[in-house]
Structure 1
């Protein structure tokens, strides 16, 4: 017997992103998908190095070689759109960050599929689904204040 699905989170540096909240935003504000360039994203995420038994390099933003369940990845549904967040730090122009679909990206890369559908969140939507791992939800301390 299976219970309810646990919440899905994507961790990146000091941030966590709620995939469930992102999916709810997309459902509440439908949008067209955009094509995601699989070879470009796979290269950026260092997927070519994942299957190297003696890696001499590591990816700064992609998964480690133990973070991808290759068996599971090869069963994922490539018609399900990925989710790309837009990160803006200190007023810099926003940059894209894949927050949902790494296993699908891996499968598409291995199968030489050139593009996958992706939903792209706005910077504002990204902030709505983003929490600070150190501070907790809403940017408040996850550690309660001590009594004086």
Structure 2
């Protein structure tokens, strides 16, 4: 799948059907996150591929969606390593979301509900206390066709040479 096609097709899926995910596909998704930009190339993020059904069941405490998949990827960051760890994590997650679509799977970025139970989830995944577990990406196939959330039109969000100038 071409890049712009993956960008257009990417959507947040919360209802999945169980499907097998190849470990090599999961590694390719993580590799897309690994090569994302990083401030000063510090790369303060690490990834956990989760295929253990019991761990996935437990992690549903963050969001029920996690129990509906056979694999997920957690992103762990070290805030002490870099002032830009949040931006680095976000760049990795976006790369992984696009790689997921390109490989024919679906996902959703779980963060807010995870942060509510972060310490508990860190215990489930044995994440060291000094690290942050900020995102989980369930990987699977959408249970239904679904729709993509409406995005603002390009001309509504684009300015030329200065804010407020809407003409080229």
- TM-score, normalised relative to structure 2: 0.27
**Structure 1 or 2: more strand by fraction:** 1
- TM-score, normalised relative to structure 1: 0.29
